[in-house]
Structure 1
Amino acid sequence: MSKNRPNSWLYFFGALGGVLYGYDTGVISGAILFMKEELGLNAFTEGLVVSSILIGAMFGSGFSGKLTDRFGRRKAIMSAALLFCIGGLGTALAPTMEYMVAFRIVLGLAVGCSTTIVPLYLSELAPKESRGALSSLNQLMITIGILISYLINYAFSDTGAWRWMLGLGLVPSIALLIGIFFMPESPRWLLAKGKEEKARAVLNKMRGEKRVEQEITEIKNAEQQDKGGLKELFEPWVRPALIAGLGLAFLQQFIGTNTIIYYAPKTFTNVGFEDSAAILGTVGIGTVNVLMTLVAIRMIDRIGRKPLLLVGNAGMVISLIVLSAANIFFGDTTGAAWTTVICLGIFIVVFAVSWGPIVWVMLPELFPLHVRGIGTGVSTLMLHAGNLIVTLSFPPLLEVMGISYLFLCYAVIGIAAFLFVFFKVTETKGKSLEEIEHDLKEKHGGSLKAESRAAEQ
């Protein structure tokens, strides 16, 4: 490999936090079945154990943006890896429900940090022509983590060894903690902190000398200030990016994908499948999710973010409407059951090539450098809040409404998401982060220009 060619191991370790997010959120679906008796769980505490990771993730997302802007992307990922290690070991050894919830919250803090910082880190390291594909590695790693958790659950299902299910998450945690020591800091963060020579050294290794000066000039021209906070995030010219980021993050959860990821076995048994067939169907969904994310990595920098989001919305809405109609008109029949399986499969396919990876790619792309960390953090907090609401509301809504009308509600939300993307989200394909920031200023910086002219007078 040429010394001027980006090191693929750098991106692998940079995205490894995604595996941990996927594994720790997916593995509990199998482990919870076997820890009930030992930890004395009832319906309420079972839900608390499952959802506590999302509570922690909201707090982790909230403070990690400021953390990464102040101390750097690399140190923040290092902190998340340490939290993954503590949380993974703690849940594997937890003697009571209270300890389990506490360490699941620690895992959630790590999840919140990693889901904020990893996409940001990858986005700032990647060259603009392949930034979509390289940033999509985070989503690919998440889907791989979910699939691995399903396979581990299946492997230990005969023995019910739930502590091993949870404890094996330590393996990628330790790998991330060790690997991140050898990763470079983000050159954009280094420049924002006045460390130009270090930034130039990182870019020399990743881009080659010919492109370094041009990229450094672009970054310095775009740079507004060393740091930004919540006040800067609500500046008039930044506000459209904030609206787009919050909307994409929230709607990614509310179009219903995690009800399929987390509750696939429950959905399959609800339409008549046996438990073993339901578990096998879950593994199948996890496999499709990984394979189609690989397809998305090849498409995202060719077709663009916005067209894929819109096409994905259309496909998800159609699959949910067909699923609902089949169950409304044909009820408890074999045809309705298989229609449900096919429609959920189609939903996962189109989600995995659109909203799954693209939201993670776009969140750090949308924000200017001085508020990129905190903007991505606030958006990711919204994402985890949506995830928590959907996760907690799905079982009671399924019981009250039934699968037909509940998924029809998700279809309506999907239509709203289509309209939001069409009117509020701009294309970022093929543009450097500095070009995206410049376009944002040009389009929405009228008040900024007026203030500048007034100051000059």
Structure 2
Amino acid sequence: MLESKQTKPTPHHHPSHFLSQQPNMGGRKDEISTTSGLQVPLIKSLHPSKKPKKRNHFAFLCSIVASMSSILVGYDIGVMSGAAIYIQQDFNISDVQVEILVGIISLFSIIGAAVAGITSDWLGRRYTIVLSAALFFFGAVLKGFAPNYPFLMFGRFVAGVAVGSASLIASVYTAEVAPTSSRGCLYTFPEVFVNVGILIGYVSNFAFSKFPTNLGWRFMLGLGIIPSMLLSIVVILIMPESPRWLVMQGRINEAKQVLIRTSDSIEESIQRLADIKTVVGIPTSCDEDVVQVPKRKTHGSGVWKELFLHPTPAVVHILITAVGVNFFAEATGMNVVVSYSPRIFEKAGISSTDHKLLTTMGVGITKTVFVLIATGMFDRIGRRPLILTSIAGKTISLIVLGVGMTIIDKSKEENTWVVGLCVAMVLTDVSFYSIGMGPMCYVVSEIFPLKLRSQGVSVAMITNRIMDSIVGMTFLSLYTAITIGGTFFLYGAFGVVGFIFFYVVLPETRGIELEELEGLFGNFLWKFSNNNRP
């Protein structure tokens, strides 16, 4: 372990101020107060120029496997955009019923996110992923064989619980297994696989579009059994349990072995283990393979009290940041662009079903390509510049899209250039979302303290799901009331507010150990100090 010289900050200095005074720490020069009241030493953070050149491949593999659960989320989003067209024809349902069918899964997923916050602490991160895959399998079977609209809604309920669970656990596990040098890159993996799932869903729409109406959508939805089966098998065969969860269970030796395999060096694994033990409340000098950890330290109502009833200023700041990121990611209308893209393109003037589905596939490809680009940028450029660029670009795209749709609405002649402009703005919108806001919904899991992480991410994910469902279930009615152009102007207005929010609230977290991050929060005037790492 590194030699340390510990100095407690004076009472009138906030930890974020203390960090700002020493941006290039050469060792342990500070300590911060965690939510448990413990003084946790700040270890040396990795400066970008000093990051190990060789990345840990096993950590990458673990993150990929965990993030594969997000394929289930993306597939459901993508496949329903096309399947809804044929379901409406087959069951003869109204636009309002279609809105509910598409958007209500986000409300159902709230249950999954809440349950996963509990099961991930009780059963572990690994088996929570298996549980979500099993639920998605069951939901796909129910939807594929649904004889009527109510039965289909029940299948959506089961799939929704799985989607909420998968969304939460992928980010939590990745946060806890990733080494600091590549944490930002690995955090983007869940969003990568969401986009892969969306693209597979779009391809499924196109592949089965020529089937009879009453069969095509069933194959589209039922095909979801394949990724859920593969995920369960791969998780059981390859993925180890989260080292932080193992420490919370007192299984020190198992955690040590996982950390050795997922860290960039032995020294880093030793330091990570010591920091986790300190946060959990286990003496760092304890070398026993198995120790007894009081359950109240990591489970139960005490955690919720620390989040909502007696939070520290840092926890309040963290919670506001995480909830805000998930709120604006959905309030700016991404669910609409993805779930209703065939209808948007139809409104823009593309009448052929094949052309609509092919253009929709272009949306999926664009999202996937740009989130892959983002994977290498979060650790090089940082979280803050990317999300500010993302929401600024998305806002401009929405406003221009609103202008284009308004011109089409008011024009009696077909304007090819306006159609091209609207298609370009949809692709631009998903591109900007994918380089910042989309991955950031998962990256925010890093800012929660260990003890509060599962429940904190659960709260953030519930916010995401509520906004996603509101946006998804109001789009058709909204554009009937205020026109489709006015609807996109509304989403753009949320983007303006979101930019201001991120500029004020979000500090840079690149290259800082998980156990140190709490010290960056608690001071909303942080942007006026020099505590951002270069």
TM-score above 0.5, yes or no: yes
Unaligned segments of structure 1, at least 5 residues? 445-457
Is the counterpart of residue 102 in structure 1 residue 179 in structure 2? no
What residue is the counterpart of 1:137 in the other structure?
189
Secondary structure (helix, strand or coil) at the match of 2:349 reads coil
The residue correspondences of 1:229-378 to structure 2 (distance < 5 A) are: 229-234=303-308, 235-237=311-313, 238-275=315-352, 276-328=354-406, 331-332=410-411, 333-362=415-444, 364-378=445-459
Q: Could you say which structure has the higher helix fraction? A: 1
Which amino acid in structure 2 is aligned with residue 214 of structure 1? Q
1:38, distance to aligned residue in structure 2 (A): 4.4
CA deviation after TM superposition for structure 1 residue 44, in Å: 4.0
1:164, CA displacement in angstroms? 1.4
Shift of 1:40: 4.9
**Contact between 2:77 and 2:338, CA under 8 Å: does it hold in 1?**
no
Write the distance in 2 (CA, Å) between the matches of 1:34 and 1:191. Answer: 50
Larger displacement relative to structure 2 (42-51 or 333-342): 42-51
Correspondence for 1:201:
257
Q: 1:320, 1:39 → 2: CA distance?
A: 33
Counterpart CA distance in 2 for 1:321 and 1:45 is 28
Name the SS of the counterpart of 2:68 in structure 1: helix
Contact 2:104 2:473 in 1 (8 A): no
Report the counterpart of residue 450 of structure 1 in structure 2: none
1:404, distance to aligned residue in structure 2 (A)? 2.1
Q: Distance in 2 between matches of 1:254 and 1:56?
A: 18
Residue 511 of structure 2 is aligned with which of 427, 430, 450? 430
Residue of structure 1 equivalent to 2:11: none
Cα 1:162–1:321 shift into 2, 3 Å? closer
Give 1:423 shift: 0.8
2:141 corresponds in structure 1 to 89
Cα distance in 2 for residues equivalent to 1:258 and 1:226: 34
Are 2:78 and 2:198, in contact at CA under 8 Å, matched by a contact in 1?
A: yes
Contact 1:54 1:105 in 2 (8 A): no
User: For the Cα contact (< 8 Å) 1:69–1:374, is it kept in 2?
Assistant: no
Report the Cα distance in structure 2 between the residues aligned to 1:42 and 1:255, rounded to whole angstroms: 25
Indicate the SS of the match to 2:210: coil
Give the conservation status (yes or no) of the 8 Å contact 2:205–2:357: no
Match of 2:108 among 56, 61, 67: 56
Paired positions, count: 441
Alignment-mate amino acid for residue 305 of structure 2? K
- Deviation by residue 1:180-220 (Cα, 9 ceiling, x = unmatched): 21311110111122211110011122225332211111222
Q: Secondary structure at the match of 2:376?
A: helix
Kindly provide the amino acid, as one letter, of the partner of residue 457 in structure 2: T
- Cα deviation digits, residues 281-337 of structure 1 (max 9, x gap): 111111000000110001111111111111111111222222333444674332222
SS at match of 1:354: helix
Residue 301 of structure 1 aligns with an amino acid whose one-letter code is D
Preserved CA contact (<8 Å) 1:25 1:53: no
Instruction: Return the alpha-carbon distance in structure 1 between the equivalents of residues 110 and 145 of structure 2.
Output: 24
CA distance in 2, matches of 1:346, 1:59: 33
How far apart in 2 are the matches of 1:7 and 1:371?
Answer: 23
SS of the counterpart of 2:147? coil
- Residue 43 of structure 2 is matched in structure 1 by none
Change (3 A) 1:35 1:412: closer
1:192 aligns with 2:248: yes
Contact 1:253 1:383 in 2 (8 A): yes
- Residue 348 of structure 1 deviates from its aligned partner by 1.3
Which is worse superposed, 180-189 or 43-52?
Answer: 43-52
1:119 aligns with 2:171: yes
The secondary structure found in structure 1 opposite 2:330 is helix
In 2 relative to 1, CA 440–222 (structure 1 residues): closer, same or farther, beyond 3 Å?
A: farther
* 2:498 corresponding residue in structure 1: 417
Partner letter of residue 398 of structure 1?
A: Y
Q: In 2, are the aligned partners of 1:120 and 1:373 still within 8 Å (CA)? A: yes
After TM superposition, the score normalised by the length of structure 2 is: 0.79
Q: CA deviation at 1:244?
A: 0.8
Unaligned runs of 5+ in 2: 1-53, 282-296, 525-534
1:69/1:122 CA distance change after superposition, 3 Å: same
Question: Which residues in structure 2 correspond to 1:12-31 (within 5 Å)?
Answer: 12-31=64-83
Deviating more after overlay: 28-37 vs 137-146 = 28-37
The more displaced of 395-404 and 30-39 is 30-39
Cα distance 1:410–1:178, how it changes in 2: closer, same or farther (>3 A)? Answer: same
Partners in 2 of 1:318 and 1:36 — Cα distance? 33
Deviations 1:45-79 (A, max 9, x none): 43333233222101111222122123211121121
- Distance in 2 (CA, whole Å) between partners of 1:327 and 1:383 is 27
CA distance in 2, matches of 1:106, 1:272: 36
Output the amino acid matched with 1:70. W
Query: Which is greater in Rg?
Result: 2
Distance in 1 (CA, whole Å) between partners of 2:396 and 2:106 is 29
Q: Secondary structure at 1:301's aligned position in 2?
A: coil
Q: 1:27 deviation in Å?
A: 0.9
Cα distance in 1, alignment partners of residues 111 and 327 from structure 2 = 16
For 1:163-182, what per-residue CA distance to the aligned partner results, in whole angstroms no more than 9, with x for missing partners? 21111111110111112213
Matches of 1:404 and 1:210, distance apart in 2 = 56
Distance in 2 between residues matched to 1:377 and 1:353, nearest whole Å: 23
SS at match of 2:340: helix
Identity percentage of aligned residues: 32
The amino acid across from 1:261 in the alignment is V
What is the aligned partner in structure 2 of residue 150 from structure 1?
Answer: 202
Q: Distance in 1 between matches of 2:328 and 2:56?
A: 39
Cα distance, 1:274 vs structure 2? 1.3
Q: Helix, strand or coil for the counterpart of 2:112?
A: helix
